[in-house]
């Protein structure tokens, strides 16, 4: 009996010890498997989370790019695109184009665009080449039936007289889907009466303005030229704009046209503002200074004395600088002063699109 006990014990130990060992081994395998599985699940969750974050980031980036594309350009000049021909020289011209260029100089050339039509000719090719050279973005519809616009300019004591060629490409600006998209994203647009002398371009300009957001600065720079305007065109444009610019020669014409009888230019301007729902009027008086009237403010600035080379484009640069400054959030007085400084400089240079000095160009870029 004494020998049987150890034998039974060893037998039982062999049987159950192997089972226990196997059980422990399987438990270990299962535990390790669970740990590995949990690790894999965590990795999958982290990977999915990372993927979702990347998708969200790509979506936000794409949305941001789309928004940037949508709001750029911010400011549009729409209307006549032409060459100002002075003797044997020619300079880029067209008030809305001048406006777009100067806004670009002050806000960045990616923030402005010129919209018009040119002929399928050498003058048209030259305009595209020059715009590309100076960095002016553009939508210029090619017209195969009409030549690129030309204005013969003769200076008398620095003051330009214009001989405007009729029935040219910018009389037929089409309202394309591309132009419509620019209108829907515009922060500001400048237009005048000259390019509305034809039904086609007038329709395009009116459609463009009507497609702009309510917050858009719709600037009617009246620019009365010879007989290329009517009471209906002026009236329609005044109803569509919220900012109007005119000079001391144009104000009496507008007042007579609509039977406005007031004692002072300010009273006349405020009557126009009240009757047509215009928020701001820019009133320039050449060497006698300039005024800007809003609903509750008035700003006056003297005109600086400079060596005048010619005044072509000076008024357009004034409007552009004021527009750019207001879009940048400058108060009325500062915006007015920048407009005066820019236009004074333009008067000292040949042509309507001189490059502005770095000090002026950087005044808004760094703001």
Contacts for 354 with CB less than 8 Å, ≥ 6 apart: 345, 346
Q: CATH assignment of 73-365, given 3.30.465.10, 3.40.50.980, 3.40.309.10, 3.40.1190.20?
A: 3.40.1190.20
pLDDT of residue 150: 95
Torsional sign, CA 103, 105, 106, 111: positive
340, two tokens: 């005066």
pLDDT of residue 74: 87
Q: Determine whether 3 is exposed, middle or buried from the number of CB atoms within 10 Å of its CB (0-12, 13-18, 19+).
A: exposed
Q: What is the C-alpha separation between 135 and 133, in angstroms, rounded?
A: 6
pTM over 0.85, yes/no: no
255, two tokens: 């007042």
229, two tokens: 């305007």
Which ranges of the chain have pLDDT less than 50?
1, 9, 12, 54-71
Q: What is the C-alpha separation between 274 and 282, in angstroms, rounded?
A: 15
pLDDT of residue 186: 96
139, two tokens: 């939508």
pLDDT of residue 84: 85
């Amino acid at each position: 009996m004494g020998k049987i006990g150890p034998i039974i014990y060893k037998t039982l130990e062999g049987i159950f010890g192997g089972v226990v060992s196997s059980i422990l081994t399987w438990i270990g395998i299962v535990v390790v498997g669970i740990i590995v599985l949990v690790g894999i699940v965590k990795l999958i969750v982290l990977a999915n989370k990372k993927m979702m974050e990347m998708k969200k980031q790509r979506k936000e980036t794409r949305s941001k790019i789309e928004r940037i594309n949508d709001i750029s350009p911010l400011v549009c000049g729409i209307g006549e695109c032409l060459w100002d021909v002075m003797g044997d020289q020619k300079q880029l011209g067209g008030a809305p184009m001048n406006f777009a260029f100067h806004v670009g100089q002050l806000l960045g050339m990616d923030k402005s665009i010129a919209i018009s039509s040119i002929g399928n000719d050498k003058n048209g090719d030259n305009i595209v080449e020059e715009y590309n050279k100076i960095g002016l973005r553009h939508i210029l519809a090619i017209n195969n039936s009409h030549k690129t616009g030309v204005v013969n300019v003769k200076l008398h004591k620095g003051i330009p007289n214009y001989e405007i060629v009729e029935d040219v490409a910018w009389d037929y600006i089409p309202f394309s889907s591309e132009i419509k998209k620019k209108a829907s994203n515009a922060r500001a647009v400048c237009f005048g009466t000259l390019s509305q002398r034809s039904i086609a371009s007038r329709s395009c300009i009116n459609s463009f303005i009507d497609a702009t957001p309510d917050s858009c600065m719709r600037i009617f720079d009246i620019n009365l030229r010879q007989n290329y305007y009517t009471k209906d065109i002026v009236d329609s444009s005044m109803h569509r704009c919220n900012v109007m610019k005119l000079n001391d020669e144009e104000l009496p014409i507008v007042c007579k046209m609509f039977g406005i009888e007031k004692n002072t230019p300010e009273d006349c301007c405020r009557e126009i503002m009240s009757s047509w729902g215009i928020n701001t009027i820019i009133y320039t008086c050449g060497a006698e200074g300039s005024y800007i009237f809003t609903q509750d403010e008035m700003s006056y600035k003297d005109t600086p004395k400079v060596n005048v080379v010619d005044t072509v484009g000076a008024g357009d640069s004034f409007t552009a600088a004021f527009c750019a400054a207001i879009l940048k959030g400058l108060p009325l007085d500062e915006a007015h002063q920048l407009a005066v400084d820019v236009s004074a400089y333009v008067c000292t240079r040949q042509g309507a699109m001189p490059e502005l000095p770095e000090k002026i160009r950087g005044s808004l870029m760094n703001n």
